[in-house]
Chain A
Amino acid sequence: MTALRFRHVPVFAAALALGLASVAVDAKPKVKVGFIGPLTGGTSSNGIGGRNSADLAVRLRNADPKAKYEYELIVLDDECKPNIGVLAATKLGANKDVIAAATHYCSAVAITTVAVYHKFGLPIIVWGAVLPDITYGNDYKEVHRVNGTMINQNETAAKFMTGLGYKTWAIIHDTTDYGKGHNKYFSKFLIENGGKILGTFGVTSDQQDFSAELTKIKSLNPEVIYFGGLTPIGVRILAQMDKLGLKALLEGTSGIVSDTFLKGSGPLAEGVLAFREGAPTEKLPGGKFFLEQYNKQGYSDPPEAYGAFAFTAMSLILDTIEAVGPDRKKVRDALNNVRGANAADSITGKVDFDDHGQNTIAVITKYVAQDGKWTVWEDSEYAKGLRKLKGR
């Protein structure tokens, strides 16, 4: 059945192209591309920023006289809910006019929709969700991702920390998939880079008292405590470390890079390190260009942290369609070929997909809490040697 349906696609596409070409000689053929993100609900600011950024990529392309096609962006809302996301993905997948799409900010949504895209043969590029399994949990050729994952984050973290000369760690992680994933990848990369783990402690994500775990850690006397988890218990752990007189440095994950962590911890947060996928937009290779263009369009909302990735995802899709024509299978194969020597340049840096469609050149930013702000490491007084991290 599927084979039969697909066999006719090129015929339709050719007929469509011919038909359009005969209507008007100078009008470009129209091609539809999709965008899915959370446009309503708690994470909507990120979704709207991503939507605007993808829209910007389409507008810039349509304004380019050299472009072969005229693009139309179909935007759908996944509300950051898996069930709504599946509906949106099905809608895009079933619409044969849609050639490819940039999809999802929320991991929980992306992990449930990848199978839908596979079923419909719709090539997609994830622009914001960070769960490794979205690309690594399957062999779907349709699924790609331009932003990094917690794997890249922890690789960077482990290399950076061992590079600073720290030798011994204790790990505290929450027992959700998020915390367990961080523990798994950080431990792996830390050992590869010569770090030593003295103890690993799983905690529940609503735990209040950490004095027993921290007292145990105190007796192990590590230089660094790695915390894989989210802000609420991060705040508690930091406060209780101080209570128990622990001298170790606290190193967190993307889960604590929030103003809430800084507000909740007050002066104790000073010198805490954390790592996050992506980067402040102005720090990206093409960030200045992107922000200039974005501001020119007069969108009422900012692009937010992942807007640049949505722009990259959409630009890559448009580049590919320009190169191989509006055909899902050809676009899929061409995207899978974006690797090694064929790696693409983008405003977020190189895009180099591995066998799972995961961009291996991921942007990870190192942060240090300085004077109540998350400061990019390279800009901080710690990097300049004006202040010292704990234990240095």
Chain B
Amino acid sequence: MNQGDFIFRHAILRTVIIVAFAILVANLFHLTVVRHSFYQDQALENRQDRFRVRAPRGRIHDRDGNLLVANQYIADIIVPRKCLTPAGPDSTLGKLIEWFGLDRWETLDRLEQQSSRKDQLILVPDASPSRIFTVEERGRELPGVKVVTRSRRQYLFGPLFAHAIGYVGEIGRAALDSMETVYAQGDYIGKLGIEEAMEPLLRGSAGIKLEEVNAAGRIVGRKPVWVRDVVPGTDVEVTLSLRLQQRLAASIGDRPGCAVALDVRTGEVLAAYASPAFDPNVMGGSLTTVQWNALVEDPGKPLFNRITQATYPPASIFKTITSLAGLAGGHVTVNSSLDPCGGGWNYGGRYFRCHKREGHGWLDHTGAMMQSCDTFYYQLGMRLQVDELAAAARAFGLGSRVTSEFSDEVRGNVPDTDWYNKHVGKGKWSRGVLMNTSIGQGELLVTPIQMAVVAGRIASSGTMPDPTFVRSPTPVRRQPKPLPFRAEHLAWVREAMRRTVAEGTGRAARLKTVEVAGKTGTAQNPHGEDHAWFMCFAPASMPEVALAIVMENAGGGGSVAAPIAGDFLKAYFHEDEADSAAVPVEVPADLTVEAD
């Protein structure tokens, strides 16, 4: 082997090594200097995780400052979905089940039932401090297991405000898709009542923070960087009164029915209770399928919001409107006497009975109202046109939504010519329908809150604003259209209603110190017992409060509904001392709806 070969190979070997190292250095320079900022961002992205921090939801107070709805902080123990498979005794899940003494199969079932969309499953909701301590202490053995605190909505009075204030529940897919910027999966959203109506204020705005994490995803940074601050939800003061609501609920008891009380001067809803109610505390999230089905299938329909969704024929309390329509059209005067009542009236070959079989005999207009004589109103009805009566009803808000807050409010039904043409058929109906409509039966349907508005509008000569549930931060005042009735006619109706309570069918609502004006009604119910109606306002001379009550399948309005009104008004006017002080934060035991 000659020396020349070696020199040549030595040169090649040197060159190869120099070139290889030059490539290494050039590449290093490219990585560390040329692309430095790119990789720096990558490193930052590696160690910074964005966390969304939910805003505490605004609390709800009553008009006297009593706290009705608050938030409670609880901690859940969360496991990642991948823990589910395989769940051997040495697995993370296996350890937790053993340490916590959980039932293995029940736990696995419960975890698997949780939404398949979620990556984080709640192993123990509302965990006890000792379990939280276990997870915090032994976290290293439990990769991915976290303690996550969340705020739970706390309804301090359980079912008392169930329908008026509503409840919160986990946001649905549709709402989430349409409001991606505001909500995230697992957020709670108001589902009914004030919770739903005031959602934009109550929810506040979630914050976003950046936390430094290690490769396992555990937060290791000392201090987060806030990208967007949490804006807590705004507290809401409702127009409801805890004291009056408690009194109303106590008077109604667990009988199915509904009552709404309004402040005549402002339209504020002072009390609104529907029975039976449900406990909003169990609604959001923790409700099991069994419990939910029990609520849905309960024959008392506790989930049904009778305040704004239940429709009934108004029966005799509608006679106030029939009278006003007759007076406005000049068909009768306040002193008119029609043919005497012999227990009924013949129309079109059919005999329409008065509720008093033996007949009222001779009555003037005021007497007919006080005695609620059907025969008088059959005759008055026949003097009216169908659309004339419908217009009078509409002037009070019947057939339309009266609140601005309740999205689930129904309109009820005020039948007019168009309605009959459409639903019965042109030429297939006659003015005879007025025989029923004029006494508040037939196709006429109203909600309890609509009838409270009728009472308030009569009491205020139409000046009462639309009912509202919110006092602060932004009170809603919607002034109504003026009533198309003359002041003396409205005053006459008020006087007739005063005398109805003083000496007529509404005597059960009388108070010692304050004069009450009211009208009873008994709605014929083809499916069972009659519904009892009562609407009233007080004081009769200078009304402050108006009230409408309907008790389902309960019998006569005078005997069933009027006493509830009397009881409520006693509380409103502080007539008896026993109830003058509301007992805050105490849920009457007899109001708790058990899902059975």
Tell me whether A and B are bound partners.
Answer: no
Instruction: Give B contacts to A, CB under 8 Å.
Output: none
Instruction: Give A contacts to B, CB under 8 Å.
Output: none
